[in-house]
Structure 1
Amino acid sequence: MAEILTITLNPTVDLSTSVPEVVAGPKLRCSMPEADPGGGGINVSRAIKFLGGDSTAFIATGGETGARLLRLLAREGVRFTAFAVTGDTRQSIAVTDAATGAQYRFVMPGPTWTTEAVSDALHAIDRAAPDGGIVVLSGSQPPGVPVDFTSRLSHNLDAHGVRLFVDTSGAPLHELVANPANPFVLRMDDVEAEDIAGRKLPTRADTADYASELVARGVARTVIIARGSDGSTLATSDGRWHASRAIDPAEVVSAVGAGDSFVGAFTMALARGDDMHQALCFGTAAASATVTTKGTRLCDPKDVARLLDGCKLVEI
């Protein structure tokens, strides 16, 4: 089984709570908050752990919040290597309005990185990357990290035969599309895809066409575009497929972590030797399982197994 290293440049301690009703003005009395280690790569490693796999999480941390984050990870048994940065690791909070079920998510920016820290991180990741393994870069970039960080990382890892899986957004995603670095996998959601494409992608065929366009341009060897509750579309130079798993809308509790669970399951499947079709279905089942959990919790393996049986894979 190939080794997996996940990278989280901007981790967070995720707090989740609820109030009877979200209104402006008065003090809102919250329920007892739950704290979880968070950030894209961390959640990918957590999902892999929950599903019975193994990975190492490379985490940039600082301050008291960073120390708390590492304690939370240790409690869950996730193996990690910490990269020290100046400034406190951020916190984020998800608040559920009990009256409506609506969830409000507040995300902090994180500490600002120096040019030296960026260079040091690239060297540290290069040393930590498993030869012939998989590296997952997931989540937002903290202030100060240049938009071409992904491209620089991709070029570094190519020399080691490492497969790079990128799940990013905003300016770094735009940069990667504008100046392709051809990582092994690039994932985005439908809103991000429409923003970059400059047009709506209402159907699976529209999504597949755009994903294929990105592959043809060398943006990535595999492009995955999540279509929310409709599942995910994958394109390579060999073809395009869509995986979906319908769940009862009444089961949907929170969308937090669904994308990270997809990435974790998909990566775990590839690492153990599954083909792209199997990995796409496993990822889709994990994402579907995650939306049925509360707050910042991720997928339960029993739910993933149940949902995997009903995954529908179609060629587009």
Structure 2
Amino acid sequence: MAAILTITLNPTVDLSISADHVLPERKLRCSRPETDPGGGGLNVSRAISALGGHSTAFVALGGPVGDKVMHLLSEQGIALSPFPAPGETRQSLTVTDSSTGEQYRFVMPGPEWRPADVSKVIDRIARAAPEEGIVVLSGSQPPGVPDDFPARLATRLARTQARFFLDTSGKALHELMHSGAKPADVLRMDDLEAEELAGRLLPERRDTADFAQALVNRGLAHSVIVARGADGNVLANAAGRWVAKAIPPAVVSKVGAGDSFVAGFTLARARGMTQPEALRWGSSAAAAAVMTPATGLCLPRDFKALLKGCALEEI
């Protein structure tokens, strides 16, 4: 199996609580908080572990909250490659209104990074990249990290023997379009991000597949994946286009679905599976994640059940 390195520059300690009703100007009596290490790359590592795989989490940590993240990861058996962050690691809060099921998510910004910190972390990631392995960059960027960071990292990793899987959004995704960076092996986004990037609606699977394949032809990545929510996940590369759809029996919380998809897809590829089969793994892991509350990720029993019924079609 190929080694996996996940990257998290802006980790967090996720606190999850619930209250009978969430109303303004009242003292709300809440449940005991559930505490998890969070941030895109860390969630990918945690989900890989839940699915029976192994990865190393390269994570920028600072201060007592950073120590808390290290402790939580150690409890979960996640291998760690720490990098000194330029300030205190952030915290985030998810509040669920028990009467409606609605979730309120409060996300802190994280410490400010300097240009020297950015250059240093790119070099450290390149040195830590596993030969013939996979490097996964997922999650938000902390303040001060430039929008072209994923493009710069893609170009730097192209000099190594590692494959680069990128899950990004917003300005960083737009910057990638015009950067001239070396292509990532896999680029993932959701349907809203794809429509924003395309500048038009993508109402049908074929529209999404056409757009994803256009990005491949443009040289952004060798493969592009677009999550279409309940309509499945579309993958396009130079050889073809596919959609995989796993249907969960119930949706409890959509938090962590994207990271679980990346975990399932990455683990399948690390084990030598084809991209279409990896798409089934990712789709089943994402569907399993929405069955868990708050910041919970995919559970193995749900994943295995969903994988059996996960449909794969060519577009």
TM range, smaller chain:
over 0.9
Q: In the alignment, is the contact (CA less than 8 A) between 2:228 and 2:234 conserved in 1?
A: yes
In the other structure, the counterpart of 1:209 is 210
Q: Which has the larger displacement, 155-164 or 258-267?
A: 155-164
**TM-superposed deviation, 1:247:** 2.3
Q: In the alignment, is the contact (CA less than 8 A) between 2:248 and 2:290 conserved in 1?
A: no
Alignment CA distance shift 1:222-1:180 (3 Å): farther
In the other structure, the counterpart of 2:251 is 252
Distance 1:127 1:257 in 2: 29
**TM-superposed deviation, 1:168:** 1.1
C-alpha distance after superposition, 1:79-112 (max 9, x if no partner): 0111011211111111111111111111111100
In the other structure, the counterpart of 1:241 is 242
Q: Does the alignment pair 1:199 with 2:208?
A: no
**TM-superposed deviation, 1:161:** 2.1
Q: In the alignment, is the contact (CA less than 8 A) between 1:15 and 1:36 conserved in 2?
A: yes
Q: In the alignment, is the contact (CA less than 8 A) between 1:180 and 1:220 conserved in 2?
A: no
**TM-superposed deviation, 1:147:** 1.1
In the other structure, the counterpart of 2:225 is 224
In the other structure, the counterpart of 1:29 is 29
Distance 2:25 2:35 in 1: 26
Distance 2:159 2:116 in 1: 23
Give the alignment of 1:1-316 within 5 angstroms. Answer: 1-181=1-181, 182-248=183-249, 251-316=250-315
SS, match of residue 140 in structure 1: coil
SS, match of residue 66 in structure 2: helix
Q: In the alignment, is the contact (CA less than 8 A) between 1:148 and 1:176 conserved in 2?
A: yes
SS, match of residue 137 in structure 2: strand
Distance 1:315 1:103 in 2: 35
Distance 1:17 1:206 in 2: 39
Q: In the alignment, is the contact (CA less than 8 A) between 1:134 and 1:162 conserved in 2?
A: yes
SS, match of residue 184 in structure 2: coil
Structure 1 segments unaligned to the other structure (5+ residues): none
Distance 2:167 2:273 in 1: 20
Structure 2 segments unaligned to the other structure (5+ residues): none
Distance 1:196 1:23 in 2: 36
Distance 1:197 1:24 in 2: 39
List structure 1 segments (4+ residues) > 3 angstroms apart after TM superposition. Answer: none
C-alpha distance after superposition, 1:245-276 (max 9, x if no partner): 1223xx21101111000001100000010001
Distance 2:122 2:45 in 1: 20
SS, match of residue 191 in structure 1: helix
Q: In the alignment, is the contact (CA less than 8 A) between 2:13 and 2:36 conserved in 1?
A: yes
**TM-superposed deviation, 1:29:** 1.5
Write the letter of the residue equivalent to 1:61. L
Distance 1:32 1:246 in 2: 31
Distance 1:116 1:247 in 2: 45
Write the letter of the residue equivalent to 1:210. F
Write the letter of the residue equivalent to 1:47. A
C-alpha distance after superposition, 1:19-49 (max 9, x if no partner): 1111111122211110000000000000111
C-alpha distance after superposition, 1:205-226 (max 9, x if no partner): 1111110111111111100000
Write the letter of the residue equivalent to 2:247. A
Q: In the alignment, is the contact (CA less than 8 A) between 2:9 and 2:60 conserved in 1?
A: yes
- TM-score, normalized by length of structure 2? 0.98
Distance 1:192 1:94 in 2: 23
C-alpha distance after superposition, 1:148-173 (max 9, x if no partner): 11111111111112110000111111
Distance 1:103 1:287 in 2: 18
**TM-superposed deviation, 1:180:** 4.4
Write the letter of the residue equivalent to 2:112. T
Write the letter of the residue equivalent to 1:214. L
Q: How many residues are paired up?
A: 314
Alignment CA distance shift 1:180-1:234 (3 Å): farther
